[in-house]
Structure 1
């Protein structure tokens, strides 16, 4: 363990990420698995962004938010997976102290951005179905750009607070993180300092920032489903449900893994929880492009057009 001791406070110079398994035979399998998921996730989200950007028909608020979600998902996985793959490939588990805190900062930041974007997308669907006549004026380009800009500014506050609070802690017992990346709860569990303030921030500010968008999404869909059920035509009901199904699937996948990890004390954090964080940090961003394109005919047409255009350019 490398550390500097000043004023009775242990200052760590690096941490060691132990990953999901320390068995040498598992490393090549883990490397191949995470490399595959990372490449699929990045390429899938890039295709979504390109298809939306190059298809005028998709220049609508809903697809604007989907493109931003894809961009955030690329950043989300890029914060953690490349370092993870480098450590496996070089057989080095170390990560600098500053690098660890930086990774934690951006992990929380992009997690929050995902959270807020999903809430804004729920509002978009609510306006489209419940107030369709006012959709163009409500979901104006100014509103869309402003909402994303404000979300980017606001979501920087929470990870900054945690980064500053973590920096005041001492890690005098161990610097071995039983995780693939520097996750907040994993770091808090290592500290030999009093972490009550850190946990207070998680349960107060964290609850507000994460639970509030979730409740907003639930409320929006209560109104949406109520409005859909009032429609007389079965075809109209099916069409309205189809416009929401992809978003509902993404929300369910995202919050199902997220709440499984963070709605518990940091002291009860286990290796099994690290697997759950991998699900929302790696698997969910990889699956989102498939979810949004699987049952979306406009997106499928845009992707086919993108591939056709690339073939023409190659000739």
Structure 2
């Protein structure tokens, strides 16, 4: 952080507050019912993602490159939910609205890292579907464990670095007026807009983050499926196209659940009440981690078969003990 501070000049005194105040849900009627809902969503997310990770670890048939990406998505969902929801409930349910300066930046780092990784993980899964459908004979060569680990590792490195840059740039800001963050967590945009010195670098990184983490991955995924559809329309029969797209239903559902609420919220943000915008944004953060494991269990044949097999093994072990 000292590197970032020194880059903007020597002998600069930064006015850093002792704490920030998170005020996002304050003033929303009957909001305690929403906290109960958030707790329920979090419990389902933890149970569902832990179950998916356990099934992939226990079943050797699921230790394929595709399920490396699915495991990583479940891990990012679990980690992201655990970084966000318990802290949100602690802040608003127990009136701990004052969050220390360093704790707030740490909170921001982990939330942004995990939410960003969810988006990029969908890119990894779309790459898997592209190669599996368009180049099936080369799938075993192109999509290997090493290539998938390298792809996911590079995504983790990228989101950690860009989020760390955003956090470090916040440390050069001075706060001489309000320290009230009008959001449900330590939101990067809400924090740097409170500063009273030059926020140009923060504004630049604030514009880059959605571009790199949301829009470019979405464009890649859309182009991937357009290419898949175009190629199949040229060489495949109707039955083959339906069969190919059935293998993509789980991934397409994840993409829709992650990106559609964000697109709707950002498109309508100017026309909706600030309280409604905060609720919508919080839902876009907590819903995908809850629904992703449910979708994969219900729509992926390999996982359904694996779950049935594990239950049969467990049932037989219990009967033998009796």
TM-score class, shorter-chain normalisation, is 0.7 to 0.9
Compare 297-306 and 16-25 and name the one that shifted more: 16-25
CA distance in 2: counterparts of 1:235 and 1:162, whole angstroms: 48
CA distance in 2: counterparts of 1:300 and 1:282, whole angstroms: 24
Backbone CA RMSD of aligned residues: 2.8
Shift of residue 121 of structure 1?
0.9
Equivalent residues, number: 308
Structure 2 residue matching 1:15: 3-state secondary structure: strand
Q: 2:95 aligns with which of 80, 83, 91?
A: 91
Structure 2 residue matching 1:173: 3-state secondary structure: coil
Compare 138-147 and 6-15 and name the one that shifted more: 6-15
Structure 1 residue matching 2:193: 3-state secondary structure: helix
Q: Does 1:54 align with 2:58?
A: yes
Structure 2 residue matching 1:180: 3-state secondary structure: coil
Shift of residue 272 of structure 1?
3.5
Q: 1:1-315, aligned counterparts within 5 Å?
A: 9-22=14-27, 26-27=31-32, 29-204=33-208, 206-259=210-263, 270-311=274-315
CA distance in 1: counterparts of 2:68 and 2:14, whole angstroms: 48
Shift of residue 114 of structure 1?
1.5
Residues 196 and 310 of structure 1: CA distance in aligned 2, closer, same or farther (over 3 Å): farther
Shift of residue 176 of structure 1?
2.0
CA distance in 1: counterparts of 2:186 and 2:312, whole angstroms: 41
Residues 139 and 191 of structure 1: CA distance in aligned 2, closer, same or farther (over 3 Å): same
Shift of residue 151 of structure 1?
1.5
Q: Would you say the 8 A contact 1:115–1:213 is kept in 2?
A: yes
TM-score relative to the length of structure 2: 0.86
**Structure 1: unaligned runs, 5 residues or longer:** 1-5
Shift of residue 190 of structure 1?
2.6
CA distance in 2: counterparts of 1:220 and 1:169, whole angstroms: 41
Shift of residue 192 of structure 1?
2.9
Residues 232 and 263 of structure 1: CA distance in aligned 2, closer, same or farther (over 3 Å): closer
CA distance in 1: counterparts of 2:260 and 2:18, whole angstroms: 35
CA distance in 2: counterparts of 1:172 and 1:313, whole angstroms: 65
| 1:243-262, Cα deviation, whole Å (9 max, x unpaired) | 11111121122122334566
| 1:91-138, Cα deviation, whole Å (9 max, x unpaired) | 322211111101111122112211221111111100000000000000
CA distance in 1: counterparts of 2:210 and 2:91, whole angstroms: 30
Structure 2 residue matching 1:10: 3-state secondary structure: coil
Q: Would you say the 8 A contact 1:109–1:155 is kept in 2?
A: yes
CA distance in 1: counterparts of 2:17 and 2:316, whole angstroms: 55
Residues 263 and 97 of structure 1: CA distance in aligned 2, closer, same or farther (over 3 Å): farther
Tell me what 2:4 maps to: none
